[in-house]
Amino acid sequence: MISLEHVSKRYGKVKSDEAPALDDINLNINPRELVVIVGSSGSGKSTLLKMITREELPDKGKIIVGGIDYDTLARKHIPHLRRRIGVVFQDFKLLPDRTVYENVAFALEIAGHTNAETKNIVPRVLDLVGLLDKMNKLPAQLSGGEKQRVAIARSVARQPRILIADEPTGNLDNRNTWEIVDLVKKINDLGTTVLFTTHNLEIVHRLNARTVRIEDGRLVADVPRGKVVK
Ligand code: ADP
Ligand code: MG
């Protein structure tokens, strides 16, 4: 479903002597897999995810996602690709002047859903993330964990095949962190391929999933589910 072969990426000048952000990454992810990407700050986790969302281009290597070979991907098809990939970030990126309901509905409208579809889908995804009772609240009236749940509802509303969560718990306290970790697991159980980055080993253990470790842009370990990650 996701395949990276010999992918390297350097920001700025290709020929500078700065270390590359990604250095010869090989990674294959199967449909419905949950993969944790662990590594310290600056190790290249976000850059790796940006290879998959096509936010950044690799200098070298081959990327194929859901059968789409990025070498032959026309610019006009990028929006279509992005609709198949939901993304959530550490800082939620909610619209502050819209309610919970409207934040999710807005994403569906942009994606071309009709009003009737939107009215049907929004309550269902808010129920999934446990926020039906907060649908008329503004983001400022929510806890951090609730905000992240809105962001997750918004990104899964379009039923993406892949959910990318880039340090989704980075701004959350412990209780909210476990809430989000459990929700992401649930979304994976429902059939979505999930990539989850973190630098927190406790989260790695709780997720109990295949874990890929990145150090200085290199993939240094790929630990299958069930084995202890150190
Ligand atoms: P992580 O997500 O693991 O913290 P990143 O992928 O954000 O790591 O960064 C990897 C390396 O690339 C770091 O050295 C970082 O400073 C550099 N980097 C990331 N984004 C940019 C950018 N837009 N321009 C220049 N350098 C960048
Ligand atoms: Mg990052």
Helix extents (H) in 20-67 = 45-53
pLDDT of residue 97 exceeding 80, the answer is yes
pLDDT of residue 18 exceeding 90, the answer is no
Q: Is 176 in the pocket of ligand 1 (CB under 6 A)?
A: no
**Of 7, 11, 89, best ligand 1 pocket probe by most atoms within 8 Å of the beta carbon:** 11
Q: Is 11 in the pocket of ligand 1 (CB under 6 A)?
A: yes
**Of 47, 166, 195, best ligand 1 pocket probe by most atoms within 8 Å of the beta carbon:** 47
Phi then psi for residue 184, to 5 deg, are -65, -40
Is the pTM here over 0.85, yes or no? yes
Q: Rounded to the nearest whole angstrom, what is the distance from the C-alpha of residue 196 to the centroid of ligand 2? A: 11
Q: Rounded to the nearest whole angstrom, what is the distance from the C-alpha of residue 199 to the centroid of ligand 1? A: 15
pLDDT of residue 17: 73
Q: Is 20 in the pocket of ligand 1 (CB under 6 A)?
A: no
pLDDT digits (tens, 9 = 90+) for 144-189: 999 999 999 999 999 999 999 999 999 999 999 999 999 999 999 9
State which H helix or E strand residue 205 sits in.
helix 201-207
Q: Rounded to the nearest whole angstrom, what is the distance from the C-alpha of residue 116 to the centroid of ligand 2? A: 37
pLDDT of residue 14: 60
pLDDT digits (tens, 9 = 90+) for 36-65: 999 999 999 999 999 999 999 999 999 999
pLDDT of residue 15: 65
pLDDT digits (tens, 9 = 90+) for 102-136: 999 999 999 899 999 999 999 999 999 999 999 99
Q: Is 11 helix (H, G, I), strand (E, B) or coil?
A: coil
What are the contacts of 114-123 at 24+ separation with CB within 8 A?
121/157, 122/157
pLDDT of residue 83 exceeding 90, the answer is no
- Confidence band (pLDDT; 50, 70, 90) for 26? very high
Q: Are 9 and 47 in contact (CB under 8 A)?
A: yes
Distance CA 22, CA 33 (A): 22
Closest ligand 1 atom to 47 CA = 6
Ligand located closest to 43 CA: 1
Query: What is the number of other CB atoms lying within 10 angstroms of the CB of residue 95?
Result: 14
Q: Is 41 in the pocket of ligand 1 (CB under 6 A)?
A: yes
Tell me which residue of 5, 21, 214, 177 sits closest to 90, measured CA to CA: 177
Q: Which token pair is 134? A: 């907060």
Average pLDDT of the segment spanning 194-207 = 94
pLDDT of residue 34 exceeding 90, the answer is yes
Closest ligand 1 atom to 48 CA = 6
Tell me which residue of 100, 110, 200 sits closest to 151, measured CA to CA: 100
Q: Are β-strands 22-29 and 34-38 bridged in parallel, bridged antiparallel, or unpaired? A: unpaired
pLDDT of residue 65: 95
Query: What is the number of other CB atoms lying within 10 angstroms of the CB of residue 86?
Result: 25
Q: Is 39 in the pocket of ligand 1 (CB under 6 A)?
A: yes
Q: Are 83 and 113 in contact (CB under 8 A)?
A: no
